[in-house]
């Protein structure tokens, strides 16, 4: 991954422009690999879930109100999909905090991964906020063959994503099966 790609002003926090690091991914491209840590402190990669439809939500921190709303919503919505659909949330939160948050929120169908070690997801998927070392809010839908089918980079960190568009992208892939 080229760590030197910087996109000044592509993300804002409370209206203030910040710098996103990494490429802007495009629908139809192969999803980039990454290494993140699950709640059992085991490394996982994109390849770990190959063969599944994945809705990947990148968030700044589960312990913030908008992230809390977003992940609870995706947890609720995923129950209408088959087990071949996986919702993964990636943040810079430590795995211990992610596990605690999921238990307290009753989130069972969303898996959380921590990018705190290497920030490889952030760098490879273009969501690393340089000034804050947090991830930009974004939603990606990846098909069973690791092709990006939907992408939304949410410009303002404090805004929610377009749930309907992301869920419709998942529905369209499940109807193709």
Domain CATH code at residue 85: 3.40.30.10
Q: Is residue 89 part of a domain?
A: yes
Q: Is residue 47 part of a domain?
A: yes
Which CA distances in Å does 84 have to 49, 51, 148, 149, 152?
A: 10, 8, 16, 16, 22
Q: Is residue 5 part of a domain?
A: no
Q: What is the pLDDT along the chain (177 residues), one digit of tens a residue?
A: 444 689 998 999 999 999 999 999 999 999 999 999 999 999 999 999 999 999 999 999 998 999 999 999 999 998 888 889 999 999 999 999 999 998 888 888 899 999 999 999 999 999 999 999 999 999 999 999 999 999 999 999 999 999 999 999 999 998 865
Q: Is residue 17 part of a domain?
A: no
Q: Is residue 36 part of a domain?
A: yes
Query: Catalytic residues, which ones?
Result: 67
Q: Determine the structural domain holding residue 79 and report its residue range.
A: 22-175
The pair of structure tokens assigned to 50 is: 């190959």
Predicted TM-score (pTM) above 0.75: yes
**What domain count does the chain have?**
1
Which CA distances in Å does 117 have to 62, 72, 94, 176?
A: 17, 25, 9, 36
Q: Is residue 32 part of a domain?
A: yes
Closest C-alpha to 114, from 61, 152, 74: 61
Contact at 8 Å (CB) between 147 and 35?
A: no
Contact at 8 Å (CB) between 20 and 126?
A: yes
How far apart CA 31 and CA 38 sit, in angstroms, is 19
Q: Quick one: which H or E segment has residue 123?
A: helix 120-125
User: Could you report the per-residue pLDDT of 23-60, keeping only the tens digit for each?
Assistant: 999 999 999 999 999 999 999 999 999 999 999 999 99
Q: Is residue 163 part of a domain?
A: yes
Q: Is residue 8 part of a domain?
A: no
């Amino acid at each position: 991954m080229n760590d030197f790609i910087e996109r000044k002003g592509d993300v804002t926090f409370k209206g203030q422009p910040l710098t996103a690091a990494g490429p802007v991914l495009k629908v139809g491209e192969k999803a980039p690999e990454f290494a993140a840590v699950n709640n059992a402190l085991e490394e996982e990669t994109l390849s770990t879930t190959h063969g599944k439809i994945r809705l990947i939500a990148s968030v700044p921190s589960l312990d913030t109100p908008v992230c809390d709303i977003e992940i609870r919503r995706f947890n609720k919505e995923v129950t209408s999909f088959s087990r071949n659909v996986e919702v993964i949330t990636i943040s810079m939160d430590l795995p211990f905090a992610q596990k605690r948050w999921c238990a307290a929120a009753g989130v069972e169908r969303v898996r959380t991964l921590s990018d705190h070690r290497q920030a490889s997801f952030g760098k490879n998927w273009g969501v690393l906020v340089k000034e804050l070392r947090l991830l930009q809010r974004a939603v990606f839908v990846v098909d069973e063959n690791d092709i990006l089918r939907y992408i939304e980079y949410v410009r303002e960190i404090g805004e929610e994503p377009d749930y309907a568009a992301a869920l419709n992208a998942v529905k369209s892939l499940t109807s193709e099966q």
